[in-house]
Amino acid sequence: MKHAEILTRLTGVSCPIFGISWNPPEAERSIAHRSIAYLEDRRVLFAPWEMEVPEFCVRSVEEIRHFLTQEIAQMDQDNHLAKSLRAMRLACRKFMDSVVAPGGNRPARYFHMNGMRGEWMLMSALGEIRGVFGIHVAQIAAEYGLDVEDDLASIMPANEKTETEEE
């Protein structure tokens, strides 16, 4: 999805817009680009529900959390990018709290043994993390003038014009 289209999806968000009143430092722009590129390759954020395997989801979210922690450590903690990356990292921890038993990992068989309840827990946690990431990916892309691949863009907030056309 192109940067201009991403801007149409953001309404009511208070943030500086790339190229109008704010020009981010090159180091921040590099971290933003690297972060979006990394997330574009994380299927757990956008693959169809029926393709998800619990143990792979848990592993992928854990890897995302580690990546975000490394990126956060390289920047000023008061900027918009750091705040978005920290919010996404918090969503990763919340996901893990939802699907990992205290004191260790819930094996994949836990979800299968608990039938619909286990499936519901995973799907609910995936929906929540995707929602949080969608908002922050859109904000980062808008602030830094970045395009986002369509798979990852599918979790960004819908644009009112698009919703009206679909009806």
Q: How many CB atoms lie within 10 A of CB 18?
A: 19
The 10s digit of each residue's pLDDT in 129-155 is 999 999 999 999 999 999 999 999 999
Query: So what's the pLDDT on residue 21?
Result: 47
DSSP string, 43-95: GGGTS-GGG--HHHHHHHHHHHHHHHHHHHTTS-TTSHHHHHHHHHHHHHHHH
The 10s digit of each residue's pLDDT in 82-122 is 999 999 999 999 998 888 765 555 555 455 555 556 677 88
Query: So what's the pLDDT on residue 94?
Result: 94
pTM over 0.95: no
